[in-house]
A and B are shown apart, each in its own frame.
Chain A
Amino acid sequence: MSQGYHGAFGGAFIPEILRETFRQLTEAYRTARRDPTFWDDYLRLMENYSGRPTPLTLAENISQEFGGRRVYIKREDLNHTGAHKANNVMGQGLLVKRMGKHRVIAETGAGQHGMATATMAARMGLECVIYMGAEDVERQRPNVFWMEQLGARVVPVTSGSKTLKDAINEALRDWVGSMDDTHYVLGTACGAHPFPEMVAWFQSIIGEEARRQILAQEGRLPTHIYACVGGGSNALGIFQAFLEDTGVELVGVEAGGHGLATGKHAARLAGDGVIGVAHGYKTYFLQDADGQMRDTHSVAAGLDYVGVSPILSHLRDAGRVRFAAATDHEVVAALKRLMRAEGIIPALESSHAVAQALKELPRLPPDAVVIINLSGRGDKDIFTVADAIDDPGWRHFIRAKATQYANRDTTGAT
């Protein structure tokens, strides 16, 4: 059996041609992990460039609303580029420099990982190509715009379901031909070994900070931690620092989409995922009886993935992490509530964690201390959220803008 197993999950199910590249990456990662100066460099970069540590904000109004249960929000939305994705990307960027490669490729769903990778590439002087499902390119245009302005080439993927899983396949195809000078900056704790372990390591910075912060602010550990789960990197990021603390209940929240009964969701661990092997690793996937991957749905592009981190699959089966699913409807309601109550605009992805916490708060003990990991900022979702809210002012603005562009195209004016 190969390395990289977490219980029954993980492994390296990769084409033979990539094996040597994975071996080199594993070696570079292991060497870096043993080298304390690497982590010091990483911490310094995250402090001076990404704005860490991110705050652990007490949500005072929500806490009051729920009878004094203390609700804290870990503000990964305040990272540079607006999401926890920066943690992983900057770490891998430092590794790329060590490996002497000069080109990076990445896949992206919501666009946050693509944007973080494009930012890292700009700063570190690397050539950058981002693969993105054509459907996601349509719904995340603002992020595409910024990736291109940062100097990355964004390639819309038109195969398959035109979403994240197809972007992963395309990035892997690129890598099979380009591995000599290219590193694939995988965006989450999925894929073949060593990616799940390596990404989880870079993201562990979230939980390490949160642990120190909650102890400083409350003088005790939290009773519950909620985090949304697409691939699972932000959830693992915060959960890892509390795995040994069995008094802390860890809750992963997946995309319930239109509802688990409709089949239009992305709930693998809270829903009907089945163990399988794809994209280089073994985990729970949403698939049919033949083993073909199903189309997934979520209002949040970043949660719209058929697989999930093998580490989380293991933690679920081991009974350490509980999984739940929040529907699109609940998510939009939660997003609105957090904005109004606390003046924080969460990403649709992160709003899944907020929705589940809000659902459960009334039945938690009165002295509960809750942390919600807010994985990213919400302004990237302005088009999707405005659609969901059906805001008339926004519709008017878009119509006016469309007319303005149409006139410009007709008259040739600039």
Chain B
Amino acid sequence: MTSLERHLRDTLTRRRQNGAAPILLMSHLVLGYPSLEENRRVIAAMVAQGVDLIELQIPFSEPIADGPVIAMANQASLDRGFRVEEGLAFLGEMVQRHAVPFLLMTYYNILHARGWEPFIRQTAALGGSGLIVPDLPLDEAGSAISLCREVGVDWIQLMTPTTPEQRLAEIGAAAAGLCYCVARKGVTGRQTAFDSAIYAFLARCRAATSVPLALGFGVKTGDDVRNLVGKADIAVVGTAAIEIHRTGGAEAVGDFFKTLKTI
């Protein structure tokens, strides 16, 4: 069991013991959007309101798996001159400042341009807990996964409703830290119906791996999170937080997570 997985399990156990719903909250933000200073404020507000796990997206010019809101945030950050180097420095700063685990999310070319090996080693040295690279599937990621294991960064695998059983089993076997379950077909940010199909999908994921399951894509409200209790271990809220930040600033994001936390 990796240290991230142990941390998540311990937190879930404590929550259960305290009579709280056994589900963790994971948030997502795009580095440099609208600015790193604002990222600092939002993260402070998220941590203060009990967000358990934070995913930092290093912007890429071709974010094919992201919906319009996150794609726009990627582009806006790049237009303001965001550089990967400052994103990594920011990860190190946040790890020092806050006690929650931080995951880095980005696309493969960002790793490739730097050299995937130095990138992974640097992530580990800075204290990053995991890496999510949606366009580097299992088949292409072999050596990267081995190195991640070696340096203690969890390579976060994605499971989707279209993934056949055999492949779910392969992904599950290679999973570390947690598995990111994609709630539905489509990119981030659209509405997801929390129905029996999602629960059946989560059950298939559960059968394929022992690591905690995070469900993302379209998780926007307290009801959505409540619906996941007992089905998933982590609810991932990304686009909704970015939209709330755009209209209400860092404080509104804090308030938003507070409402999610009270379930």
Asked if B208 is at the interface of the complex by the 8 Å CB criterion, the answer is: no
How many angstroms between the C-alpha atoms of A20 and B113 in the bound complex? 28
Query: Which residues on A sit within 8 Å (CB–CB) of B60?
Result: 291-292
The total of interchain contacts (Cβ-Cβ below 8 angstroms) comes to 120
Which of these, B65, B84, B113, contacts A15 with CB under 8 Å? B65
Within 8 A of B (CB), among A279-318: 279-280, 285, 287, 289-293
**Chain B residues closer than 8 Å to A176, beta-carbon distance:** 65, 185-187
- Bound form: Cα–Cα A33–B60 in Å: 36
8 Å CB contact of B134 from A15, A274, A275, A289: A15
Contact partner, A173, options B67, B135, B158, B167, Cβ 8 Å? B67
* Chain B hits for A152, CB < 8 A: none
B162 engages A14 (CB within 8 Å): no
* B182 contacts A16, C-beta separation under 8 Å: yes
CA distance A289 to B161 in the complex (A): 36
Task: Tell whether, in the assembled complex, residue A20 and residue B71 are in contact, meaning their CB atoms are under 8 Å apart.
Answer: no
A287–B113 touching, CB < 8 Å? yes
In the assembled complex, the CB of B72 is this many whole angstroms from the nearest CB of chain A, namely 7
Quick check: is A26 within 8 A (CB to CB) of the other chain?
A: no
Chain B residues positioned under 8 Å from A16 (CB to CB): 134, 137, 158-160, 163, 171, 182
Q: How many residues of A contact B (CB 8 A)?
A: 38
Q: Which of B62, B84, B134, B161 is A290 in contact with, Cβ under 8 Å?
A: B84
* Chain A: CB-nearest residue to B157: A16
Question: Is the CB of A111 closer than 8 A to any CB of chain B?
Answer: no
**CA separation between A19 and B140, bound complex, in Å?**
12
* Contact A278–B139 (Cβ < 8 Å): no
Q: List chain A residues, Cβ under 8 A from B111.
A: 291
Contact B135 A17 (CB under 8 A): no
Knowing A278-B109, A291-B114, the reply to whether A159 touches B72 (Cβ < 8 A) is yes
Which chain A residues in 178-204 approach chain B with CB under 8 Å?
A: 178-180
Contacts of B163 in A (CB 8 A): 16, 19-20
- Is B149 at the interface (CB under 8 A from chain A)? no
User: Given A17-B162, A159-B68, A278-B62, are A290 and B137 neighbors across the interface (CB < 8 Å)?
Assistant: no
Q: Say yes or no: A292 contacts B78, CB within 8 Å.
A: yes
CB within 8 Å for A169 and B63 given contacts A2-B140, A13-B135, A177-B186: yes
How far apart sit A290 and B115, CA to CA, in the bound complex (Å)?
10
- A292 surroundings in chain B (CB, below 8 A): 60-61, 78
CB atoms of A291 and B110 under 8 A apart: yes
A289 to B110, CA, bound (A): 9
B246 interfacial by beta-carbon distance below 8 Å: no
B residues in contact with A17, CB < 8 Å: 65, 158, 160-162, 182, 185-186
Cβ of A180: which chain B residues have Cβ within 8 Å of it? 185
Min CB distance A107 to B, Å, is: 12
Chain B residues, Cβ within 8 Å of A280:
64, 135
Contacts of A273 in B (CB 8 A): none
How many angstroms from the CA of A165 to the CA of B61 in the assembled complex?
10
Q: Say whether A160 contacts B135, CB under 8 Å.
A: no
Interface string of B189-228 (1 = CB under 8 A from A): 0100000000000000000000000000000000000000
CB atoms of A13 and B113 under 8 A apart? no
Question: Any chain A CB within 8 A of the CB of B136?
Answer: yes
**Most interface-central of B62, B68, B134, B160 (chain A CB within 10 A):** B62
In-complex Cβ contact of B139 among A12, A172, A177 (8 A)? A12
Specify which of A1, A14, A275, A293 is in contact with B135 (CB 8 Å cutoff): A14
Sample (12) of A-B pairs whose CB atoms are under 8 Å apart: A2-B140, A17-B161, A17-B186, A19-B137, A159-B71, A173-B187, A180-B185, A276-B113, A277-B135, A280-B64, A291-B111, A291-B114
Instruction: A1-B140, A159-B68, A160-B61 given; name 6 further pairs at CB < 8 Å.
Output: A15-B134, A19-B163, A159-B71, A160-B62, A177-B190, A277-B108
